[in-house]
Structures are given as structure tokens and as C-alpha cells.
Amino acid sequence: MSPLTHFDAEGQAHMVNVGAKPATRRVAVARGRITMQAGTLALIQSGTARKGDVLGVARIAAIQAAKKTSDLIPLCHPLALTRVAIDFAAKSPDGNWAGAIICTATVETTGPTGVEMEALTAVQVGLLTIYDMCKAVDRGMVMTDVRVLEKHGGTSGSYLAPAGEPPAP
């Protein structure tokens, strides 16, 4: 049997049966960043981007993405999410950053399976929305460092990303 749970004994992809697992509180936090020109960051912070409130739209897109994760990732279970919180923090030019926005997603549910994929999807779509809204002025933006920072709940217990991760906002 493969240690990868999305494959059966014959190696065929399948949706994991979580029917016998107890419903517990599940929480996942994911984070990523989008780097950009300093002028692009200033435009976003000023609220004068041509398409409107970039971070407001990106926040709604990220929340919607968390809710729609099972529509995007074929073997994810549809989950009744109890909380999706999206935080954006700007990093000013300082030598290490050309200019960046950090997106952090915290997703919660009470159920038989975790919400890591929902948190990761929220971050990615939030960052993609920033790119979409600002690409007219900066096509060189780069999305990086998307990963799970922590997860809690379930039989596997808690996970905290090792030290040395990208700095918190």
C-alpha cells in the first residue's frame, strides 16, 4: 500500500474515505508573498489603482477560493468552513524586498478532514488577484513562498513550520 493516501492498492487515484473519522476542530494557516516594484506597492497602498481597492478585492477572492477548493482540486472533500480570515501585510522596500505583500489565510472547520488545501488555495488566489489587478503597471510581479505554516486537529496532531521560514508580517 502506498503511503500516499490518494492512491488505492492498485495505484489508482481515489478520494480518501473519511466517513469513519471523528469530526474535530481543524485549523490551518498558510502564507505566501508577491514581490513587486516599489511603485506598484505604493499604488496599492494609496488605494488609487485603476481597478479599485486591490486588497479588498483580493480578500474576497481568497475567501471565495477557500470555499471553492473542492471544485478546483479533484480529490478534496467539500467542507463546511466555519471561518476564513485573510490578512495582507505590506513590506516596504528595505534591501531584502523590492516591495512585497504577504497574504496569510487562516481557515477553520469542524469535520473529519483538514483544511490545509483550503488555506493554500486562498493564499494563491489572493496573490493571483493582486497580480491580475496590477499587471497593467507591473508584469514582473512574482509569487513565492506559499506554504502551510501551521495546522491543528485530527489524528496527525499539530504541525508548525520549522524556524527559518519567511518572516511573519
Q: Which residues are catalytic?
A: 132
Separation in Å, CA 16 to CA 46, 72, 82, 99, 136? 46, 16, 22, 41, 42
Quick one: CA dihedral 8, 14, 20, 23, positive or negative?
A: positive
Sheet holding 100-111, edge to edge: 81-91, 100-111, 24-35, 142-152, 159-160
